[in-house]
Amino acid sequence: MTQFSIKSVLLVDDDPAATFINKVFIRNLPLDVDVYAATDGKDALDLLDEISISLNGQQSFIPCLLILDIKMPVMDGWEFLDAYTDRYSKEIKKNITIVVTTMSQDERDIIKASNNPMIKEFVQKPLSDEKLLEIIERHFMEKQH
């Protein structure tokens, strides 16, 4: 049986239908993960602030996978990434894999994503259970000895 090192996912998307469907896809995968959701970049930062606070010297939950939409109101994905880069320590960031998703066909978004070291992957929407499983396999499959 394949083992995965993923424990949690944070979905950042302003489309409630996409978030709902992605939650269903993730819950149908052969994984035991917690799934959290934020409606925009500011909401995601607030959630990360809340869940990354140390409790009695113990670090609480940090999402393993952050799936980030680019086009959102309030704070879009690019603005989130700028704030995220400045706001969190290398220790926190090294534990979070960021995958950017979008419906955008704009070549500039693809180039900007490929030039950002925080972004591990750029995936066109819509996501599917197959795409999500491929992402998780690429980034979270534990090596079998």
pLDDT digits (tens, 9 = 90+) for 4-33: 789 899 999 999 999 999 999 999 988 889
Residue 73 within a domain: yes
Q: Which residue has the higher pLDDT, 145 or 59?
A: 59
Q: What is the CATH number of the domain that holds 43?
A: 3.40.50.2300
pLDDT above 90 as % of the chain: 63
Q: For position 53, what pLDDT does the model report?
A: 59
3 falls within a domain: no
pTM: 0.89
Question: What mean pLDDT value characterizes the chain?
Answer: 88
Question: Each residue of 95-135: pLDDT tens digit?
Answer: 899 999 988 888 898 899 999 999 999 999 999 989 999 99
- Asked if residue 2 belongs to a domain, the reply is no
Task: Evaluate whether residue 1 is within a structural domain.
Answer: no
Q: For 42-67, write each residue's pLDDT tens digit.
A: 999 999 887 765 544 555 667 899 99
pLDDT at 52: 62
Determine, yes or no, domain membership for 24.
yes
User: How much is the average pLDDT of 75-102?
Assistant: 93
Q: Which domain holds residue 127?
A: 8-140
Residue 106 lies in a domain: yes
The token pair that represents 95 in the structure block: 């534990």
The neighbouring-strand residues paired with 119 are 98
In a domain, 67, yes or no: yes
Residue 99 lies in a domain: yes
In the chain, the number of structural domains is 1
